[in-house]
Structures are given as C-alpha cells and as structure tokens.
Amino acid sequence: MQRQHQPESEGLTLYLSTDSPRDTTLTDSSGQVLYDVHTECDNGTFTTHVSEGDVDLKAVEVARLRWTGVNLHAGTVTVAFREGQTLPVREWLCKSKMPFNKDSVTFVDGEGRKYKWKRYELYCEDDDYKQSIAAFHKSSVDESAKPPAPKEIRAMLKLSPRAEQVDDQVVCSFLFTEIERRMKEGYLRDGDVRARVSASSGYMNSGGSFGLLTATSTVM
C-alpha cells in the first residue's frame, strides 16, 4: 500500500480512532487508514484481526490473534511477517520472568534484531535499549483549549524512522500486549469493550465495566 509518510526525521504518528486496542483504526496525520483492528467472539474464543489498510477498500491481514480469558500469551497468533506461520503467542512475544519487570515484553524481527516494550515505550538492542524508538500516548483532554469545550486529544502511537522499519511488528506487538494489560487490569468499559451479557451469568460493577464475559458476549 502506498503511504504518504511524514518527513523521515519525524517518523510516523498513528492516531487511534477509539480508546480500544481491540476495535479501532490507526490513521496517519492526513486521515489515511493504515491499520484496521477488529475483534470477534465465538463461544468464548476471541479473534483479533489486524489488517494493513482500510477493510472497506483493499486491506491485507498482517496478524490474527486467537485467545480466551485474560491470558493472551496462552493463545496463538498468525503473522504475515513470519511467512503466515501460526505459533503460540509466547514464542513471539516473550514476557520478562522478573516480578519487578512484569510490563517488559520482547520480540525479535526477521533479521534477528531484538526489541523490548517497557510499558508504553519500545526500545531496541541496537543501542543497548537506551533510547525509545516508539511510544504510546493515551488519549487526554486539553483543558487549556478555548470554549465552548475542552479539546480532546486522541490516543496515538509514535514511531521513529527506526521503528518504521518493522512497523507491522511494532503495531501488532503493542496492540496485543495492551489488550492483555487492559483485560488483566479490569479495563472492560463501555467505551472499550461493548458486550451483551446475560442477566443470569454476567454482571456489571458500579464503575460501568463488565466484571464477567460469558459465551453470550459479543464484541462490537
């Protein structure tokens, strides 16, 4: 797909259309859809598809994640950048075994170069993990904006020129680790995951988030 990149010195900024890493589009500064993400649920098994391009036009799937529960690393992932292989998630995204470094996740690209996510920043082995090459910024509200209303700043994933070399892997590794993080931290909110839960088997806590997803759940 032909992309209209920002100047190389600036890298690439991807804007998320929603706050959900499971169902969103990622666009560049011109509004062009570079990635589409959507999740389906079938009898308690979730499948998250990540496609390059706009699914309403001509998109190419770059990764497909199948998982249940809140432990995505027990699931499988099919990745185009590994010649369409299907493998356990834990073989591609490796978690740190150190308890004080639980948010650290590493992966290796096709050339054997190693990368490490430290929470919301990505580092590479090139410089011994000293300078981040990609970073995620949560959505926020600019209270200093002029009336009539504060300005909402969309969530964004910023890639340096170095990160653009493996952009598919950066995007997919971020999305999948963020999905698991939010699941485990209980961020199942109306704006993140919209689901139908039967009255007899599901419940909603006082904060408006679903505390239980059942086989009747449907991700929108």
- In the Cβ-directed half-sphere of 43, how many Cα atoms lie within 13 Å? 0
pLDDT in tens, 32-86: 999 999 999 998 899 999 999 877 777 899 999 999 887 888 899 999 888 888 9
Output the pTM of the full model: 0.78
Mean pLDDT of the 160-183 span: 94
Dist CA 214 CA 153 (whole Å): 33
Q: Where are the domains of the chain?
A: 12-185, 195-220
pLDDT surpassing 60 at residue 193: no
Give me the percent of the chain exceeding a pLDDT of 90: 53
State the DSSP string of 118-132: ETTEEEEGGGTS-S-
Dist CA 217 CA 22 (whole Å): 14
pLDDT in tens, 94-135: 988 776 667 799 999 989 999 999 999 999 999 999 999 999
Residue 134 CB contacts under 8 Å (≥ 6 apart), including other chains: 121, 122, 157, 158, 159, 160, 163, 170, 174
